[in-house]
Amino acid sequence: MATIKFQLQSKSNNAPIYLRLSLGRNKSIKRKTGLSINPKEWSTVTGLPKQNNPSTKNLTPKLKKLSAKIYDKLNDALSNGKSINGEWLNEQIDIHFERINENKQSELVTDAIQSILNMAEVRKNSLGGIGLSKSRINSYKGLLRIFQEYQKGNSHKVKEVNVKFANDFLKYLLHEKKYSKTYAVKKIADLKTVCSNAGDEGIKTHPKLKKIPSANSKNEAVIYLTPSELDRIAVSDKVKGDALLNARKWLLLGCNIGQRGGDLLNINENNFVTRNGYEVIELTQQKTGKNITIPVLDTTKEILKTGLPYKISIQKLNEYIKLVCELSEINELTKGGIIEVTENGNGNKQKRKNYGKYPKHKLITSHVCRRSFATNTYGVLPTPLIMQITAHSTEKMFLNYIGKDRLDYAQQIADFYTLQAQKAKKEPQLSVVKNSVNQ
């Protein structure tokens, strides 16, 4: 006759509780239940938690329910001639605690995240193609790491994720992890996507999962270089040495063509082509996979009149352009975030972006190129044309990117009508040009 007993194998403060299934002489199977207890609260006589401790009183009913379920499943398996082994026992324990479902799919959030990572190569992306971008993969890896820390030994299931759960997780990201609002909101959006994907694959989700807000956090700081600042940088005689002069050229070129640092630094002579008589730069963006065509304007030609800058790493570019801007006296106090290394309560170092007012040169990174182009051309060029170069999918995303809102729309409309009124008031002015004779 089969018997079930629970036992500990460790004297640690958080000892795992094992289920031991005996099937007859010299045949027994032992697997972890996923529950744990302090050995001081465990009775070796009853094989259950001691009943005089309120903190462990809920464990006994859980273990008894598990025992009854295993007996029930064991009878079904034996009557159907199934093999009873460690894998079978582990599976039944996980099904009972809803860590996996009857189809052997994991119900855990961490496994749902890992499932997306495992299928990243063939997963449909936002462009309608196959395969997640490197940035999306890194985003899910970050979510997995953060969520594992958040659980603190627990195993949260997909079906637990609702509005309250998301809000609690958001508070953790903001207050304990000290992440920026923008990053924290993105992690909540990633978590919602993970759970929705799990639901599509047959995992049980919370009925209110879709009620989790998918709000976009407005950019906390929009850092860009104005046209006058770019002019100051271009003519500064304090920028000296090959490394800084090369970095300055990359910076000016980047602000002129509006690309991310990684795409900018990959530009070479092969990217310059002639189409229908026009000189253009053609490239494929690393992050979005979009093919971009950028006209080579006179300003671009002026920057490159002595040739393309030589390639450097993105880390070196970020380091050098800060110094280039400092030497060019880009010192206006500006709201922004600086990444600083601090120690958390466990003595581990962590990088966090601290927001405040800093001299502008301290806030400069390679991303200033794309944002400067987008901001400086907004209202000068038609927005759809700018978006063709920056590769923003929607105007809403573009306006959030440069920190614009509905008030800016109103200002644009007002400026348009003011200009039209000025044109209407102008009357043709004729002047007589007298013949002149060189004397």
- Assigned token pair, 342: 């601090």
Q: Dihedral through CA 185, CA 190, CA 194, CA 200, nearest 10?
A: 90
Among 182, 211, 240, which residue terminates a domain?
211
| Rounded-to-integer distance, Cα 120 and Cα 131, Å | 6
The structure tokens 């909540």 sit at 188
- CATH classification of the domain holding 127: 1.10.150
- Assigned token pair, 19: 């289920």
Residues 249 and 395 in one domain: yes
**Quick check: is 426 in a domain?**
no
**Quick check: is 234 in a domain?**
yes
**Quick check: is 77 in a domain?**
yes
Q: Quote the pLDDT of residue 394.
A: 87
Which distant-in-sequence residues (6+ apart) come within 8 Å of 333 by Cβ?
357, 358, 359, 360
Do 144 and 117 touch, CB atoms closer than 8 A? yes
**Quick check: is 397 in a domain?**
yes
| Rounded-to-integer distance, Cα 269 and Cα 307, Å | 9
Residues 207 and 237 in one domain: no
Residues 127 and 48 in one domain: no
Provide the domain count of the chain.
Answer: 3
**Quick check: is 217 in a domain?**
no
Residues 178 and 233 in one domain: no
Q: Quote the pLDDT of residue 429.
A: 44
- CATH classification of the domain holding 233: 1.10.443.10
**Quick check: is 433 in a domain?**
no
Residues 131 and 69 in one domain: no
Residues 80 and 117 in one domain: no
Residues 244 and 359 in one domain: yes
The structure tokens 């509005």 sit at 163
String of DSSP letters for 342-363: EE-TTS-EEEEEEEEEEEGGGG
Do 109 and 195 touch, CB atoms closer than 8 A? yes
Among 62, 96, 130, which residue terminates a domain?
96
Among 35, 67, 96, which residue terminates a domain?
96
Residues 204 and 247 in one domain: no
| Rounded-to-integer distance, Cα 218 and Cα 185, Å | 10
| Rounded-to-integer distance, Cα 431 and Cα 419, Å | 25
Domain that holds residue 303: 227-342+350-419
Q: How far is CA 194 from the centre of its chain?
A: 13
Do 405 and 399 touch, CB atoms closer than 8 A? yes
Residues 187 and 244 in one domain: no
- Measure the N-to-C terminal CA separation of the chain; round to a whole number of Å: 127
From the list 22, 97, 105, the residue with the least C-alpha distance to 65 is 97
**Quick check: is 318 in a domain?**
yes
**Quick check: is 240 in a domain?**
yes
| Rounded-to-integer distance, Cα 200 and Cα 334, Å | 45
Residues 33 and 56 in one domain: yes
**Which contiguous run of DSSP H or E holds residue 274?**
strand 272-275
Residues 318 and 414 in one domain: yes
Residues 152 and 259 in one domain: no
| Rounded-to-integer distance, Cα 115 and Cα 161, Å | 17
Q: Quote the pLDDT of residue 55.
A: 76
- The rounded average pLDDT for each run of 10 residues, N- to C-terminus, in the chain (439 residues) is 92 93 89 94 93 84 96 92 92 90 86 94 80 89 95 89 96 90 92 95 93 71 92 96 97 95 94 93 87 92 94 96 97 88 66 85 95 92 90 85 67 60 57 39
Helix, strand, coil percentages (3-state) for the chain, rounded to 5, are 45, 20, 35
Which own/partner pairs from 126-132 qualify as long-range (CB within 8 Å, at least 24 positions apart)? 126/393, 127/288, 127/289, 127/290, 129/289
Do 178 and 351 touch, CB atoms closer than 8 A? no
Which distant-in-sequence residues (6+ apart) come within 8 Å of 338 by Cβ?
353, 354, 356, 358, 362, 363
